[in-house]
A and B are shown apart, each in its own frame.
Chain A
């Protein structure tokens, strides 16, 4: 079963607006990562947040983590058409090695120009 579950499954916004995607997971984690996948391409790592961190920023990306609720959110500010892609959260459970990334089902983001 999928460790991470993203919400919403699909999101359509206008350029310049902010996009927020949420991820919930089931077990205790070592860290949580967000990846982007452009259509027909491989995944690209965006940002990682460790279990002892609550918020992290990278450029227009802001990630939060609430371990008590087992949830994370990814905020993309001032979105651009080039941000159109699928976004996946991936968790590294505490009891496994770092290779055992468990992915959610993804959020398909469409940014309309």
Chain B
């Protein structure tokens, strides 16, 4: 199994541009989440999904959209990038009823 994969690894955007961060998992996990990690801080939850077709907001959802059309994929969309969205983004998944979250390698995003 590849586990949780994220693309791209690195991305530079200009203010106002939009883009989609991709996340996929091949473990048939129902739960998927997006976090952002800023220097010297822990991870903060952006959005999460408990299954295909179901999403909910986390702690810092503003400026981001998500959808979950399949169990495997959970893309994160930045609608109009801002410098405050410069961060490292992690996708994670877990099985329903479980506790351990499996993390992807992260996407490092810089917004100029």
For chain B, the count of residues having a C-beta within 8 Å of the partner chain is 26
Contacting B106 at CB < 8 Å: which of A41, A101, A104?
Answer: A41
Bound together, the chains give a CA A31 to CA B40 distance in angstroms of 24
Given A42-B103, A98-B99, the answer on whether A103 and B44 have CB atoms closer than 8 Å is yes
- A64 beta carbon closer than 8 Å to chain B: no
Bound together, the chains give a CA A92 to CA B50 distance in angstroms of 15
Given A42-B106, A48-B100, the answer on whether A88 and B42 have CB atoms closer than 8 Å is yes
A98 proximity list for chain B (CB < 8 A): 31, 94, 98-99
B44 proximity list for chain A (CB < 8 A): 103
The bracket for how many chain A residues form the interface is: 20 to 34
- Binary contact readout A71-109 vs B (1 if CB under 8 angstroms, 0 otherwise): 000000000000000001010100001111111111000
B45 proximity list for chain A (CB < 8 A): 99-102
Summarize A's interface: helix, strand, loop or mixed.
loop
- Residues facing A in B55-112 (CB within 8 A) are 58-59, 90, 92, 94, 98-106
Contacting A41 at CB < 8 Å: which of B33, B100, B101, B105?
Answer: B105
A88 touches B43 (CB 8 A): yes
- Apart from A43-B43, A101-B33, what are 5 other A-B pairs with CB-CB below 8 Å? A2-B42, A48-B100, A90-B42, A98-B94, A102-B45
Bound together, the chains give a CA A90 to CA B41 distance in angstroms of 13
A99 touches B42 (CB 8 A): no
- Show 23 A/B contacts (Cβ-Cβ < 8 Å), sorted by A: A33-B99, A33-B100, A41-B105, A42-B4, A42-B103, A43-B90, A43-B101, A45-B102, A48-B99, A48-B100, A90-B42, A97-B50, A98-B31, A98-B98, A98-B99, A99-B31, A99-B45, A99-B48, A99-B94, A100-B48, A102-B59, A105-B42, A106-B42
Of chain B, the residue at the smallest CB distance from A89 is B42
A44 touches B41 (CB 8 A): no
A2 touches B48 (CB 8 A): no
A90 proximity list for chain B (CB < 8 A): 42-43
